Amino acid sequence: SCASLSDPKGVHSEQRIKHYPKETFIASCGNLFCRACRGRLCLKKSSVKNHLGSKKHLEGKIKWQSKEAREQDIATALKTYNSEVHPRCATLPESQGGIPFNKLDSYKELLEETGYLLTDKRFMLDLIPFVLKEEETTNKEMIKDMKLGIIFDGMRLGKTLTIVVRLISEV
């Protein structure tokens, strides 16, 4: 470990990262860290070179690369699974429709703390009918000249009849 007072003036951690792009360095708060060794590095060029040649770094880099490859494989598998289980444009059933509008504002602060932005409840109430109308228009155009068979699984007959009548009257 190197004291920050001995770091060269005018040299920033980002410059060292650019100088060694294939290494496992990251910058945080002006400090240079090695992810493979899990330690802070001095910004001196000679110290960085010595670190790169060390046995600890070389072994740590191999472990880090295998860990990164494994995490990438897991991420790819999860992405594939998610696309199979939740196909694009699939929607949740009404019973699993998400958070009620009156509770949106209570989640806003929590989401903003974790880095997600959530628009205001009033804007969402204005936006959703517009998006719904666009989806209905798109679906009507898509099924306009088709013969359809509709299968309702696990739904009450009265609700099924209402949906079929509404679909026929709107198309």
Whether residues 27 and 78 fall in one domain: yes
Domain end call among 83, 109, 125:
83
Whether residues 16 and 50 fall in one domain: yes
Whether residues 46 and 102 fall in one domain: no
Mean pLDDT of 93-111: 68
Domain end call among 30, 53, 83:
83
- Structure confidence at residue 138 (pLDDT): 82
Q: Is residue 93 part of a domain?
A: no
Which residue range(s) make up the domain with 58?
4-83
The overall pTM is greater than 0.75? no
Q: Is residue 56 part of a domain?
A: yes
Whether residues 8 and 64 fall in one domain: yes
Whether residues 66 and 116 fall in one domain: no
Q: Is residue 90 part of a domain?
A: no
Whose structure tokens read 């802070």? Answer: 40
Domain end call among 35, 56, 83:
83
Q: Answer whether residue 167 shows pLDDT above 60.
A: yes
For the chain, give the secondary structure using H, E and C. CCCHHHCCCCCCHHHHHHHCCCCCEEEECCEEEECCCCEEECCCHHHHHHHHCCHHHHHHHHHHHHHHHHHHHHHHHHHHHHHHHCCCCCCCCHHHCCCCHHHHHHHHHHHHHCCCCCCCHHHHHHHHHHHHHHHHHHHHHHHCCCCCCCCCCCCCHHHHHHHHHHHHHHC
Which has the higher per-residue pLDDT, 161 or 140? 140
Whether residues 13 and 76 fall in one domain: yes
d(CA 50, CA 130) in angstroms, rounded, equals: 61
- Written as six digits, the tokens of 116 are 């997600």
Whether residues 12 and 48 fall in one domain: yes
Whether residues 11 and 69 fall in one domain: yes
- Structure confidence at residue 19 (pLDDT): 86
Q: Answer whether residue 126 shows pLDDT above 60.
A: yes
Mean pLDDT of 160-164: 72
> Looking at this protein, which amino acid is placed at residue 135?
E
Domain count, the chain: 2
3 band by pLDDT with thresholds 50, 70 and 90: very low
Whether residues 40 and 106 fall in one domain: no
